[in-house]
């Protein structure tokens, strides 16, 4: 077993152990992948101020996200098809998050269903929904999430239409995989993945198949997805969905100050500054470049969370120092899951926690809640004048 010290180590194992179509599904962005690349490379432009002769004893990364206690302000982001990276992937990731004391967010497009995750965990998790047209289906999803004791809903606002990822088209991505010759040849090299998949019955979209009208089997799912998303979405509809749920709401996919103000006006409990990990509008600015101006505009009206591009605890610390009250990791935990299942997600969280904790100390702080922009050296034009 190789010694794992970084998320990059987990990513290498993920690539080795998971079928190409699912690894590529994770490790890709839309079109030219400029935004996907810059989400991570822009973090490198920010540096830390080294401080010395400060008390580093009794440190804590404990904090709160939307009033809920977290061991560190790092949640697992909603990731579709997680149960294809590794058998029962959502259950394994949720268990790792629960043991660590951080929130797990289940995607509507998960393989394991809301009920599967609830039955296999003991603490409330968060549930992510898209803005779909079918009110009956949305209401049933909310009811199921309530019955499963989900403590917040994440509404994703940056995916009415799907960004194009070239690799998914070239790989013919499906869940479960179709048995074409290239797929078979690739699967033949992924024995452990295949054996574990054979042992689970969870291989289809568990929240949709058998629940959405006219989707009784996986083959009818593609036509349902094409029809289901509400291309005419507007803020009134967002307010309507928030009312239908009636509990804590996090609005995800905000990358613009005007949109952040609108989301704050609706009374969301939090917003997530996010460009969907560079999977939607290629050519958009990286999330980290947009964070500070959004915090300046709405930070005293609504809790601001952040995702896209986090690959280390140092990245988490930079986002917190720029004003985020919470962060999410997507690919970083999926790399862990694809590498080593539940233990891999735990490893990803351990790596991030250790990097966060030590960097906080080197910067002269003992409590994550006291960290602010003073710990950073940010290039003058970082947020930029992009008129
Ligand atoms: C493979 C994959 C699938 C995703 N599926 C969803 C999804 O179903 N719903 C959603 O709101 N976001 C989805 N996202 C976006 C993540 O929630 C998150 O915004 C993104 O991964 C953050 O960027 P990072 O991967 O660089 O951390 C997905 C991301 C990836 C990588």
Nearest CA to ligand 1 atom 21: 330
The share of the chain scoring above pLDDT 90, in percent, equals 89
Tens of pLDDT along 148-165? 999 999 999 999 999 999
pLDDT for position 180:
86
Q: Quick check: bond before 22 cis, omega within 30?
A: no
* Residue 218 clears pLDDT 70, i.e. is over it: no
pLDDT for position 295:
98
Place of tokens 């003992």: 366
Q: What is the mean pLDDT of residues 329-350?
A: 98
Q: Return the minimum-mean-pLDDT range out of 281-285, 312-316, 378-382.
A: 378-382
Domains of the chain: 7-377 (3.20.20.70)
Q: What is the mean pLDDT of residues 15-36?
A: 97
* Residue 240 clears pLDDT 80, i.e. is over it: yes
Q: What is the mean pLDDT of residues 98-107?
A: 98
Q: What is the mean pLDDT of residues 21-43?
A: 97
331-362 helix and 7-17 helix, angle to the nearest 10 degrees: 170
Is 78 assigned to a binding site? yes
Q: Return the minimum-mean-pLDDT range out of 103-107, 187-191, 220-224, 323-327.
A: 220-224
* Residue 166 clears pLDDT 80, i.e. is over it: yes
* Residue 90 clears pLDDT 70, i.e. is over it: yes
Place of tokens 């004048």: 385
pLDDT for position 224:
77
* Residue 355 clears pLDDT 70, i.e. is over it: yes
Alpha-carbon distances, residue 309 vs 11, 90, 315, 358 (angstroms): 14, 21, 8, 20
* Residue 227 clears pLDDT 90, i.e. is over it: no
* pTM tops 0.95, yes or no: yes
DSSP per residue, 240-301? HHHHHH-S-EEEEEE-SHHHHHHHHHTT-SEEEE--GGGTSSTTSPPHHHHHHHHHHHHTTT
CB atoms near residue 45 (< 10 Å): 16
CA of 55 to the centre of ligand 1 (A): 38
pLDDT for position 217:
66
pLDDT for position 219:
62
29 pocket-lining for ligand 1 (C-beta < 6 Å)? no
Residue from 268, 328, 258 nearest 294 by CA: 258
CA of 334 to the centre of ligand 1 (A): 10
Q: What is the mean pLDDT of residues 189-195?
A: 94
* Residue 220 clears pLDDT 70, i.e. is over it: no
Q: Which atom of ligand 1 is nearest to the CA of 332?
A: 27
CA of 79 to the centre of ligand 1 (A): 5
Alpha-carbon distances, residue 192 vs 22, 196, 197, 342 (angstroms): 15, 6, 9, 15
pLDDT for position 59:
98
Q: Which among 8, 37, 76, 78 is the best mutation to test ligand 1's pocket, defined by most ligand atoms within 8 Å of the CB?
A: 78
Write b or e for each residue in 18-29: b if 16 or more Cβ atoms lie within 10 A of its Cβ, otherwise e: bbbbbbbbbbbb
Are 88 and 202 in contact, with CB atoms under 8 Å apart?
yes
Q: What is the mean pLDDT of residues 41-47?
A: 98
127: left (phi over 0), alpha (psi -120 to 50) or beta: beta
Nearest CA to ligand 1 atom 31: 26
With H, G, I as helix, E, B as strand and everything else as coil, classify residue 353.
helix
* Residue 387 clears pLDDT 90, i.e. is over it: no
Q: Percentages helix, strand, coil for the chain, rounded to the nearest 5?
A: 45, 10, 40
With H, G, I as helix, E, B as strand and everything else as coil, classify residue 127.
strand
With H, G, I as helix, E, B as strand and everything else as coil, classify residue 128.
strand
* Residue 222 clears pLDDT 80, i.e. is over it: no
> Which residues are the active-site residues?
276
The model's confidence at residue 77, banded by pLDDT at 50, 70 and 90, is: very high
* Residue 341 clears pLDDT 80, i.e. is over it: yes
* Residue 298 clears pLDDT 80, i.e. is over it: yes
CB atoms near residue 179 (< 10 Å): 8
* Residue 112 clears pLDDT 90, i.e. is over it: yes
The model's confidence at residue 331, banded by pLDDT at 50, 70 and 90, is: very high
Is 107 assigned to a binding site? yes
216: left (phi over 0), alpha (psi -120 to 50) or beta: alpha
pLDDT for position 130:
96
């Amino acid at each position: 077993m190789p010694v794992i010290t970084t998320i990059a180590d987990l990513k290498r194992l993920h690539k080795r152990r998971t079928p190409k179509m699912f690894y590529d599904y994770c490790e890709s962005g839309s079109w030219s992948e400029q935004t996907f690349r810059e989400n991570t490379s822009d973090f490198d432009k920010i540096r830390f101020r080294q401080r010395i002769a400060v008390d580093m004893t009794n440190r804590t990364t404990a904090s709160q996200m939307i009033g809920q206690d977290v061991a560190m302000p790092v949640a697992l982001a909603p990731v579709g098809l997680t149960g294809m990276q590794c058998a029962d992937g959502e259950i394994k990731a949720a268990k790792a998050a629960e043991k660590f004391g951080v929130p797990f967010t289940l995607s509507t497009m998960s393989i394991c269903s809301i009920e599967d995750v609830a039955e296999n965990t003991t603490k409330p998790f968060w549930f992510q929904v898209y803005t779909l047209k079918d009110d009956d289906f949305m209401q049933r999803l909310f009811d199921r999430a309530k019955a499963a004791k989900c403590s917040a809903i994440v509404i994703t606002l940056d995916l009415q239409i799907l960004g194009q990822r070239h690799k998914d088209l070239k790989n013919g991505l499906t869940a479960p995989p179709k048995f074409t010759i290239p797929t078979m040849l690739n699967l033949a090299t992924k024995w452990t993945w295949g054996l574990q998949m054979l042992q689970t019955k969870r291989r289809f979209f568990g929240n949709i198949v058998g629940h959405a009208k006219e989707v009784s089997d996986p083959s009818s799912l593609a036509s349902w997805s094409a029809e289901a998303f509400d291309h005419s979405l507007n803020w009134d509809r967002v307010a309507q969905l928030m009312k239908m749920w009636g509990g804590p709401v996090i609005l995800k996919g905000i990358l613009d100050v005007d949109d952040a103000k609108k989301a704050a006006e609706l009374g969301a409990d939090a917003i997530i500054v996010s460009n969907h990990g560079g999977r939607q509008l290629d050519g958009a600015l990286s999330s980290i470049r947009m964070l500070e101006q959004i915090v300046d505009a709405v930070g005293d009206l609504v809790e601001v969370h952040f995702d896209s591009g986090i690959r280390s605890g140092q990245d988490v610390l930079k986002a917190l120092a720029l004003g985020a009250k919470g962060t999410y990791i997507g690919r970083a935990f999926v790399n862990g899951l694809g590498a080593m299942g539940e233990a891999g997600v735990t490893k990803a969280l351990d790596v991030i926690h250790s990097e966060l904790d030590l960097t906080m100390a080197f910067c002269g702080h003992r409590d994550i809640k006291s960290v602010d922009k003073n710990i950073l050296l940010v290039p003058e034009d970082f947020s930029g004048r992009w008129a």
